[in-house]
Structure formats: structure tokens, C-alpha cells
Structure 1
Amino acid sequence: MINDKKSQPLYAQIANDLRENIRTEKWTEGQRIPTEMDLCDMYHVSRITIRKAVEELVRENLLVRKKAKGTFVNHYSPEKTNHMTMIKSFTREMREQGKVASTIHAEVKKVTADYQVAKYLKINPGEEVLMLKRIRGSDKDFLAYFVTYVPYQAYFSLESKDYYGSFYEYLNSFNIFPTQQVEYVEAILSNKEIQTLLKLTKPEPILKRVRFTTDLTNGFSEYTECYYVGKKYKYYLDFSTN
């Protein structure tokens, strides 16, 4: 529901609604979305407002514009990639660079999985998942924002204080050892939310990394979206050939 009395700008409300269409697969991958004029009629707003909302999703790589054809859903599908990389936590990455990792803020809660999260975790929509949001850095410098989803287990703490260290070390304490990882990395421009969370004064290049990990011995799975300040972070890959 779009409400012009809400503190959130209209374009941001519409952008959230469009994201929901993609997450629930009301709009499927490759599908052309309604034209700007059609969206104006649907939401009863100006063309400028619609354009700003659509641009948000284009920056997030959820939509792609094709010249003379329109705007299409460019939804990422993890099943299409088979590249495995070494699982490395943020704590370890900082340690290897001679820095000490810190968690500046953490919040955790139990939620129900929407269609997108369920698809990535290979569970059913509506099942309980642990959602963990953290702002991470080094020496009080804001470097990254993480949003993590894992299938909920009763032994997982719902106290934020328990998630200020390495999340993978926390998982290890429950004999969960993710051994496979699939991820993709892309450069995007920070939106208002990321700018606020990472203390950015203006839109800046951000490195977005989406990660999927599994522990095949116990059926564990993880889906994480990471947002790194581009000018402060270097991304390294460890790989081997057979």
C-alpha cells in the first residue's frame, strides 16, 4: 500500500513494492515489466517518481533496461552458477590484512522466509529463519553491512550480543562447518539505506557480494548479502586448479 503520509518517500515505497513482485515471482526472470506510464496509472504518481523507483532496482541489478524494448526482470538465480570459492569470514579477511575486525552493530530476530529467501535456502516459504544484520569494520571504521539468513534452529541465540564475533566461528560451536560456497560480486552505487548505515555522505561505489554456503553433512545453508565501501575494501580470491 502506497501512503503519501508515511515518512518514507513515495519512490522508495514503490521500489519496495516492485522488489516484492520480483521476490514472490509475480514478475519472473526475463519478463518485461509495465511501462512507466502504466506504473504511473497503477500507483497514481508522477513519471519522475516511477523513474526514481525503477532506477533503484536497476542499480541493484534486479531490473535491466533494454533499448527500444523496455525494462525487464534480471533476477539472480543461484542455480545457474557452479563456481565454488574458499569460505572466508570477514574476521579472517581483516586478520590477513593485519587488521582487527569489529562488529559495530548487530541485530538478530526470527522471521518467516519469503519466496526469495526460501528459494536460496532450499526451504519452504513461511518456514522460520534467523535474520542477522550487522555493521562491520576495523578500528571504528565502517567497512561493510551484512544481512544473513539461515534456517532457524532452537539452539541459535536471539541475543544480539552473541553475534559480535565471527559468525562462522559461532556456527562451528554447533558443529556446523560450511564446506561449499557459491557467490557473486558486483559493483553498485549505494542507495540511501546503505549510505545511512555505513556513514556515507553521498552515493558512492559499493561492492555487493551475495554468498551461499552449505554444510552437506547436516543440511545447513546460508544466504548473505554483503555491502562493502568500495574505496576501503579489497576483495581477494583463493582458488586452486585440478
Structure 2
Amino acid sequence: MLNKNSIQPLYKQLMDIITQQIKNGTYKPGEKIPPEPELAELYHVSRITVRRTVEELCTQGYLIKHQGKGTFVKSPMIFRKFESQKNMSFSESCRQNDRSPASHVLSFCKKSADSITSDFLQLPSGEEVFFLERLLLADGIPIIDVHTWLPVQLFPDFDPNAVENGSFFEYLKSAYHYSIADSSRSTVSVTTASSDMAQTLSLSLGDPVLILDSFMESPDGQPLYISREYIAGSRYTISF
């Protein structure tokens, strides 16, 4: 409980308690903390004290407010580094940040390639490609909605079940003997979450979303596939 005779302000004492609860797992990343009136009653302090505590913890990156939903424990951001000679995979970046990666296939079908896809993959106009959509998670929290376009002729009999909670790169290597060139090209842009994005990534409408477009080639320069990653901006950091 809080010590009202201490020289340390009550809001700082409460900050220490809540940060310790976050660190020991009482409140887990992505979990909603009790509302301010409940915290005020629990710790026998004013709502003003609780409000300042929450605001300070939001500023320090421990908590995040979602309008109309409440205050949640902010997930530690995943750091992913892109270099000219080596691009870090999502699974690698999770493990380096002590997070557990997972992936789920959301959809898989054939569709006609658009002009950008056809040009890069060197396909005749309108030729069909495989379209694969996966949701990538860290410690069960949605991080990336990734869309991938693969030429059917290079990946016949592609099995989406093989990448359900499995490595996409490892599947390409083991099933088709393809590896990815370290220097494959990627670009980043920024948008805000649409209603569909917000639902898929468990975001609020209008939250920041990074878009990572990657044009993947084999080491000998053969175009392999295109991917577009919609990344929860508050949960992920990219360094070039």
C-alpha cells in the first residue's frame, strides 16, 4: 500500500507499484489495467493522483490509452534492422527482443497479377499469382499483416499449411531450394489504420501503420516474390 507519510509523492509511489506489476507479469503486454476510479478506490488515493500516475506511465512508454476502450499495458517495441547486406526476418527480430514469434494464415488464393507485380516477377500481363496473407504475432500480440504475391510457375503446389506457425523463408528453402538475396530491395511508407487494418492488428481506427514493401530476389538475381507488410507502428521499430 501507499505510505502517505513518505516524502515521495503518492503518484510516484503508485507509479512504482504499477511498473513493478508490469515487470512481474501481473499486468501483461496488451492487457487492460483497471479504470482510474477502481485504482483510486484500491489504493485509497484521489482520482487526480491516479490520473497523473497514468499520464506519467503513458509518457514513459509503459501504458497506452485507447479512446473509448481504456488504458492498456504497452507492448515492448520489436526492433528490426535492415542493412545493405543482410535483412533481419521477423522471427529473428522477435528472438533478439526476447519475444516468441508466431504466424497464422488468413487467406490463400490465386489472383491476376497487377502491373507492378507482373513487371517485377517478369510475368505476362494478367498472369495469375498465388496470394498469401499471414498475421505475424509476438507473444500472441498482432504485429504485422503481411501480403505476399508468388509466381505460380516458381512455386507449384505451394502449401499454405506449411507456413501456419512456421517459417516462410525456411519453407521456400526446404520445399523449393530457394534462398533470399541479402540485398533484396525494401521501401517504407506510413499510413493510418483503416477499419479492416484496425480489426486485424487489434488497433484503434487511425493508429499509425508502417507499410514495408519488399521485392525479393534469389542470390543470382531471379525475382522470387513481392511482399507488403502492414505493421503496427506502436509495436515495431525499423532501422536501416
TM-score (norm 2): 0.58
Correspondences of 1:1-40 after superposition (within 5 Å): none
Correspondences of 1:149-160 after superposition (within 5 Å): 149-153=149-153, 156-160=156-160
Which of 165, 183, 186 is the equivalent residue of 1:183?
186
**Kept after mapping to 1: 8 A contact 2:217/2:223:** yes
Residues 87 and 153 (structure 1), Cα distance of their counterparts in 2 relative to 1, 3 Å cut = farther
Match of residue 123 from structure 2 = 123
**Kept after mapping to 2: 8 A contact 1:176/1:218:** no
Q: How far is the alpha carbon of 1:104 from its aligned partner?
A: 3.3
**Kept after mapping to 1: 8 A contact 2:194/2:205:** no
Count matched residues. 155
Q: How far is the alpha carbon of 1:217 from its aligned partner?
A: 3.4
Range 112-121 or range 141-150, more displaced: 112-121
Give the aligned residue type for 2:173.
N
Range 153-162 or range 124-133, more displaced: 153-162
Match of residue 206 from structure 2 = 203
3-state SS in 1 of match to 2:237:
coil
Give the aligned residue type for 2:210.
L
What stretches of structure 2 of length at least 5 have no aligned partner? Answer: 1-82
**Separation of aligned partners in 2, 1:184 and 1:116:** 14
Match of residue 46 from structure 1 = none
Match of residue 148 from structure 2 = 148
Give the aligned residue type for 1:131.
F
**Kept after mapping to 2: 8 A contact 1:85/1:182:** no
Match of residue 107 from structure 2 = 107
Correspondences of 1:41-52 after superposition (within 5 Å): none
Structure 1 residue 233 and structure 2 residue 236: aligned? yes
**Separation of aligned partners in 2, 1:227 and 1:187:** 9
**Separation of aligned partners in 1, 2:155 and 2:192:** 37
Match of residue 173 from structure 2 = 172
**Separation of aligned partners in 2, 1:168 and 1:224:** 12
**Separation of aligned partners in 1, 2:160 and 2:179:** 22
Q: How far is the alpha carbon of 1:99 from its aligned partner?
A: 1.2
Q: How far is the alpha carbon of 1:85 from its aligned partner?
A: 5.2
**Separation of aligned partners in 1, 2:85 and 2:194:** 28
What stretches of structure 1 of length at least 5 have no aligned partner? Answer: 1-82, 238-242
Give the aligned residue type for 1:208.
I
**Separation of aligned partners in 2, 1:158 and 1:107:** 13
Residues 85 and 186 (structure 1), Cα distance of their counterparts in 2 relative to 1, 3 Å cut = farther
Match of residue 197 from structure 2 = 194
- Deviations 1:154-196 (CA, angstroms, capped at 9, x unpaired): 7544543212211111111121011131111122111222112
**Separation of aligned partners in 2, 1:84 and 1:148:** 22
**Kept after mapping to 2: 8 A contact 1:106/1:163:** no
Residues 159 and 140 (structure 1), Cα distance of their counterparts in 2 relative to 1, 3 Å cut = same
Give the aligned residue type for 1:236.
S
**Separation of aligned partners in 2, 1:183 and 1:118:** 17
3-state SS in 1 of match to 2:239:
coil
**Kept after mapping to 1: 8 A contact 2:105/2:132:** no
Give the aligned residue type for 1:136.
L
3-state SS in 1 of match to 2:189:
strand
Range 123-132 or range 222-231, more displaced: 123-132
**Kept after mapping to 2: 8 A contact 1:131/1:150:** yes
